[in-house]
């Protein structure tokens, strides 16, 4: 069996090598593809904190992805139309600066996660899944009917937002930005998982009664995990919108929530690089199989089926011989 | 007499028409082991769950260190000094033995809101956990995955986790269950010493252990305490023989 650390480093190196190779052979589209995988990986690393460590099967993480997307879309829309954003009786200017957009995306999705978490965590199991799904649908239909920002058609942002010192329109530079953020998020996630908080959260997933009898509140642990998780997924949403220079209600769709779960399961639930491997495979299949057939999801489904039946630890489990976290 | 560390007053709990706990008043004084015995379905587990905060009684009250904790949550009672072990092991099976005990030490520290430092490199947590493992004799298994422990070792681990909380009172639900004769003897010796540290409310089926350890015994039948007294008094009680001991032949 291969040590997990080695698997992680290989994936890490691969994520860097492919875009660099793409520069050499002048294939900018490959860079965009890898960037897409990196952004989905960030979203899934976020979800993995709630799902893999906390055992919270959220079928509503598209809410945070979408909120991040719309945070970017709305701020950039006001900036490109030179209009002001009126909120709570105050007037704000739009912005094209990524750092500000990211901050807004993280805060907005974090706040939303705390409210949704507070209400959803009163339930567990199937009911938790259903409540998070319901929140997802609420946001989805709200976005569709929100005509100020394009309604069903979504919002186009003509020029990608800027980052001080970089030309984000150059694919490799935007990739670099996303890659650094993935590293930051992975590092945070690793620290958190090994920290006292992660230990307690991991126990709260397995035996909440035990956590209570040592004097800790499992609900509060899970709520904090849900907020951190939502905030990270929100950041990914802002990047995803910037990658496409387009925001639409589909970012809120429950299919997206489902895809995030699927790619965590494929990679390895609760494993640090599980979401990264899942995202890379997902984007690769989407690209290659999608070119062959419109029904490429069938093959994705087969892979998922094989993993659920024969390799419960996902691809990382298969390579390292470790079991995934039981949710 | 000193005030009891842990006490229930007229505790009642009904599940529909079934009376699971019928005005139970028991207490636990410093330095003693108070055993609760009774046939299956007598309401022992229901009683313990109410004492520890998992169930709210219909009426009556629970007192810990002289304070009414009837409406307190499980975690508030744990923080106030109630250490519990479970009949069916409640352990994080995917985690190592040490991690399970470190969780106890983390609970005792009261601050799980640390997101950066490594839990398993925190000497204040691991030293406490190792000390507890040492005491129950599990130290050589500290890196074993909990799921790989034998049934008896899991009982020891349950006790170790409770120890990290340095509780003012222990509530132990059948700690001997599933232990072999040897393990049972070891744990009996250990609990014998432990009572000086904090009194133990002991629910147990193993009569040898109960008679060897208990300072007092209360007999629970159909949710009611039908007898309470010293080991000799209970042995000689006619009512107890009829209701319970007689059945064991």
Integer Cα distance of A25 and A235 in angstroms: 31
Asked if A216's CB is within 8 angstroms of B75's CB, the reply is yes
Q: Is A50 part of a structural domain of the chain? A: yes
Closest alpha carbon within chain A to B118: A195
Please indicate, yes or no, whether residues B26 and B97 belong to a single structural domain of this protein: no
pLDDT at A155 > cutoff 90: yes
Q: Is B55 part of a structural domain of the chain? A: yes
pLDDT at A285: 92
Q: Is B87 part of a structural domain of the chain? A: no
Closest alpha carbon within chain B to A209: B90
Integer Cα distance of A251 and A254 in angstroms: 9
Q: How many domains does chain A have?
A: 1
Q: Are strands A155-156 and B169-173 parallel, antiparallel or unpaired?
A: unpaired
Q: Is A137 part of a structural domain of the chain? A: yes
Verdict on whether the full-model pTM lies above 0.80: yes
Domain that holds residue B104: 92-166
Tokens of A249: 């209600």
Asked if A206's CB is within 8 angstroms of B103's CB, the reply is no
Bridge partner residues of B11 (DSSP): B24
Q: Is A173 part of a structural domain of the chain? A: yes
Domain boundary among B166, B188, B217: B166
CA distance B102 to chain A (A): 9
Asked if A207's CB is within 8 angstroms of B117's CB, the reply is no
Whether the CB of B93 is below 8 Å from some CB of chain A: the reply is yes
Burial of B231 (C-beta count, 10 Å sphere; 0-12/13-18/19+): middle
Residue among A190, A202, A209, A214 with most chain B CBs within 10 A, to mutate: A214
Task: Please say whether the beta carbons of A143 and A249 come within 8 A.
Answer: yes
Q: Are strands A246-247 and B6-15 parallel, antiparallel or unpaired?
A: unpaired
pLDDT at A91: 84
Q: How many domains does chain B have?
A: 2
What mean pLDDT is predicted for residues A165-178? 95
Name the residue with higher pLDDT: A110 or B236: A110
Element (H, E) at B61: strand B59-64
Bridge partner residues of A56 (DSSP): none
Q: Is A211 part of a structural domain of the chain? A: yes
Whether the CB of A304 is below 8 Å from some CB of chain B: the reply is no
CA angle B37, B38, B44 (to 5 degrees): 80
Name the residue with higher pLDDT: B115 or B177: B115
CB under 8 Å to A143, separation ≥6 — which residues? A66, A70, A149, A151, A248, A249, A251, A252
Please indicate, yes or no, whether residues B157 and B173 belong to a single structural domain of this protein: no
Q: Is B15 part of a structural domain of the chain? A: yes
pLDDT at B111: 94
Please indicate, yes or no, whether residues B132 and B11 belong to a single structural domain of this protein: no
User: A34 falls in which pLDDT band (50, 70, 90)?
Assistant: very high
Domain that holds residue A240: 19-254
Tokens of A153: 């058609």
Burial of B83 (C-beta count, 10 Å sphere; 0-12/13-18/19+): buried
What is the rounded average pLDDT for all residues in chain A?
A: 94
What mean pLDDT is predicted for residues B225-239? 88
Share of chain B above pLDDT 90, in %: 77
Domain boundary among B110, B134, B166: B166
Whether the CB of A187 is below 8 Å from some CB of chain B: the reply is no
In chain A, where does DSSP find H-type helix? Answer: 4-24, 28-48, 62-81, 98-120, 126-145, 171-194, 196-206, 208-213, 218-244, 254-267, 274-292, 297-310, 314-320
pLDDT at A308 > cutoff 70: yes
CA distance B137 to chain A (A): 21
Name every chain A residue with its beta carbon within 8 A of the beta carbon of B75: 212-213, 215-217
Task: Please say whether the beta carbons of A67 and A237 come within 8 A.
Answer: yes
Domain boundary among B111, B142, B166: B166
Integer Cα distance of A307 and B216 in angstroms: 56
Integer Cα distance of A144 and A249 in angstroms: 6
- In this structure, the dihedral spanned by the alpha carbons of residues B236, B241, B244 and B249, taken in order and rounded to 10 degrees, is 110
pLDDT at B249: 41
Integer Cα distance of A122 and A132 in angstroms: 12
Lowest mean pLDDT among A40-54, A126-140, A312-326: A312-326
Share of chain A above pLDDT 70, in %: 100
Separation in Å, CA B100 to CA A55, A202, B125, B129, B171? 18, 11, 11, 9, 19
Cα–Cα nearest to B32, from B191, B199, B193, B189 = B199
Nearest to A191 among B86, B90, B115 (CB): B115
Q: Is A25 part of a structural domain of the chain? A: yes
User: A247 falls in which pLDDT band (50, 70, 90)?
Assistant: very high
Q: B22: domain CATH number?
A: 3.40.50.300
Please indicate, yes or no, whether residues B248 and B180 belong to a single structural domain of this protein: yes
CA distance A34 to chain B (A): 30
Q: Is A242 part of a structural domain of the chain? A: yes
User: B177 falls in which pLDDT band (50, 70, 90)?
Assistant: confident
Lowest mean pLDDT among A58-67, A101-110, A218-227, B173-182: B173-182
Contact pairs from chain A to chain B, CB under 8 Å: 106
Q: Is B76 part of a structural domain of the chain? A: yes
Asked if B116's CB is within 8 angstroms of A215's CB, the reply is no
Task: Please say whether the beta carbons of A261 and A51 come within 8 A.
Answer: yes
- Block residue for tokens 């232990």: B179
pLDDT at A87 > cutoff 90: no
User: B247 falls in which pLDDT band (50, 70, 90)?
Assistant: low
3-state SS, residue B135? helix
What mean pLDDT is predicted for residues A216-241? 98
Q: Is A151 part of a structural domain of the chain? A: yes
pLDDT at B246: 56
Name every chain A residue with its beta carbon within 8 A of the beta carbon of B118: 194-195
Nearest to B79 among A200, A215, A325 (CB): A215
Residue among B112, B147, B165 with most chain A CBs within 10 A, to mutate: B112
CB atoms within 10 A of CB B65: 15
Integer Cα distance of B26 and B11 in angstroms: 9
What mean pLDDT is predicted for residues B113-118? 95
In chain B, which among 110-149 make CB contacts under 8 A with chain A?
Answer: 110-120, 122, 125
CA atoms A261, A263, A265, A268: torsion sign: negative
Burial of A32 (C-beta count, 10 Å sphere; 0-12/13-18/19+): middle
CB under 8 Å to B173, separation ≥6 — which residues? B44, B45, B48, B84, B85, B86, B87, B203
Name the residue with higher pLDDT: A310 or B199: B199
Cα–Cα nearest to A277, from A67, A25, A48, A26 = A48
């Amino acid at each position: 069996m291969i040590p997990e650390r080695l698997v992680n480093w290989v994936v890490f190196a691969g994520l860097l090598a492919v875009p660099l190779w793409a520069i050499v052979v002048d294939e900018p589209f490959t860079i965009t593809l890898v960037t897409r995988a990196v952004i989905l990986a960030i979203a899934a690393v976020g979800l993995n904190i709630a799902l893999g460590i906390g055992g919270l099967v959220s079928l509503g993480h598209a809410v945070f992805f979408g909120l991040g997307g719309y945070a970017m879309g709305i701020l950039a829309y006001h900036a490109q139309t030179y209009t002001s954003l009126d909120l709570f009786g105050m007037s704000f200017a739009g912005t094209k600066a990524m750092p500000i957009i990211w901050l807004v995306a993280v805060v907005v999705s974090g706040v939303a996660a705390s409210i949704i978490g507070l209400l959803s965590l009163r339930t567990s199991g199937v009911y938790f899944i259903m409540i998070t799904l319901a929140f997802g649908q609420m946001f989805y239909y709200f976005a569709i009917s929100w005509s100020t920002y394009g309604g069903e058609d979504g919002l186009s942002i003509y020029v990608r937002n800027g980052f001080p010192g970089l030309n984000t329109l150059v694919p490799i530079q935007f990739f670099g930005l996303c890659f650094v953020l993935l590293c930051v998020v992975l590092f945070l996630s690793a620290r958190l998982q090994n920290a006292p908080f992660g230990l307690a959260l991991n126990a709260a997933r397995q035996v909440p009664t035990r956590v209570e009898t040592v004097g800790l509140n499992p609900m509060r642990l899970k709520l904090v995990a849900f907020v951190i998780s939502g905030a990270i997924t929100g950041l990914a949403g802002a990047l995803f919108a910037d990658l496409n220079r387009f925001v639409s209600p589909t970012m809120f769709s429950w299919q997206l929530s489902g895809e995030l779960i699927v790619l965590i399961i494929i990679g390895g639930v609760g494993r640090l690089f599980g979401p990264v491997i899942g995202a890379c495979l997902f984007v690769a299949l989407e690209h290659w199989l999608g070119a062959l057939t419109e029904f490429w999801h069938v093959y994705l489904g087969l892979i998922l089926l094989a993993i659920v039946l024969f390799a419960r630890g996902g691809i990382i489990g298969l390579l390292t011989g470790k079991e995934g976290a039981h949710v | 007499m000193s005030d009891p560390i842990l006490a229930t007053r007229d505790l009642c709990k009904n599940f529909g028409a079934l009376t699971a706990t019928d005005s139970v008043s028991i207490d636990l004084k410093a330095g003693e082991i108070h055993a609760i015995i009774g046939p299956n379905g007598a309401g022992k587990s229901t009683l313990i769950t109410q004492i520890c905060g998992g169930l709210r009684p219909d009426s009556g009250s629970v007192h810990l260190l002289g304070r009414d904790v009837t409406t307190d949550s499980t975690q508030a009672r744990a923080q106030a000094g109630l250490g519990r072990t479970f009949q069916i092991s409640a352990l994080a099976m995917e985690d190592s033995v040490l991690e399970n005990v470190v969780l106890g030490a983390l609970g005792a520290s009261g601050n799980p809101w640390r997101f950066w430092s490594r839990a398993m490199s925190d000497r204040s947590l691991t030293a406490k956990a190792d000390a507890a493992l040492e005491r129950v004799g599990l130290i050589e298994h500290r890196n074993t995955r909990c799921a790989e422990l034998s049934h008896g070792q899991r009982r020891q681990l349950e006790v170790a986790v409770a120890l990290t909380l340095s509780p003012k009172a222990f509530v132990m639900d059948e700690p001997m269950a599933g232990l072999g004769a040897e393990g049972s003897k070891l744990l009996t010796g250990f609990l014998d010493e432990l009572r000086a540290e904090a009194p133990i409310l002991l629910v147990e089926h193993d009569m040898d252990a109960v008679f060897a350890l208990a300072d007092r015994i209360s007999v629970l039948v159909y949710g009611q305490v039908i007898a309470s007294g010293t080991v000799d008094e209970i042995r000689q009680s006619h009512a107890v023989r009829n209701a319970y001991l007689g059945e064991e032949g």
